Structure 1
Amino acid sequence: MNLQYVSDEQGRHTAVIIPIEEWNEMKAKHQDLQSWEKPKVKPSDFFGTLSKEDGEKMQKYVTQSRNEWERAI
């Protein structure tokens, strides 16, 4: 296995990088490893979590904040 180690300033190992091909082989052999990966979430999964009114308020606030930021430059 061709692992790469990530070290901090003191030389202590802080992470390991596993080549993707080897990771995929490990996942195929050990189903429990699949739970470590983040689920793929799409923006459409969140449709309806905010009311239309709340969404419009948030959009108005963001627009106002951007305009104030651009004026300050």
Structure 2
Amino acid sequence: MSLQIIQNEKGKPAGVFIPINEWKQMKAMYENLKIWEEPEQTEEEILNNIRQAVEEMKLIKAGKLKGRPLQELLDEL
């Protein structure tokens, strides 16, 4: 298995990257792993999320909604 260790800004191990083919093999062998996957969004869900984001940006520009710091947004990823 060709795992890659993901490190944080201090060089400490923070996660693991598993190539997709190996992930698929693991899911086939271990049914419980499937619960860790989030279902893929439909096109309608994606478009609704984009519409919501555009509306939020309009409210932020109009001063009716407070924006969030960039670091907070990045931390969500």
User: Please, what TM-score do these two structures have when normalized by structure 1?
Assistant: 0.55
Q: How many residues align?
A: 55
Task: Return the alpha-carbon distance in structure 2 between the equivalents of residues 67 and 15 of structure 1.
Answer: 36
SS in 1 for 2:33: helix
Residue pairs, 1:24-39, within 5 angstroms: 24-39=24-39
Sequence identity of aligned pairs in percent? 34
CA drift of 1:44 comes to 5.6
2 CA distance for matches of 1:17 and 1:6? 7
Give the match for residue 19 of structure 1: 19
Change (3 A) 1:66 1:15: closer
Structural RMSD (CA) = 3.1
- Structure 1: gaps (5+ residues): 46-60
Look up the match of 1:40.
Answer: 40
> Which structure 2 segments of 5+ residues have no match?
46-54, 64-77
State the structure with more CA Rg.
Answer: 1
Give, in angstroms, the shift of residue 39 of structure 1. 1.9
Runs of 4+ in 1 over 6 A off after TM superposition: none
* Secondary structure of the structure 1 residue equivalent to 2:11: coil
1:68 deviates by: 3.7
Look up the SS of the partner of 2:32 in the other structure.
helix
TM-score (norm 2): 0.53
2:59 to 57, 65, 70: 65
Deviation at 1:10, TM superposition (A): 2.0
- Aligned AA (1:34): K
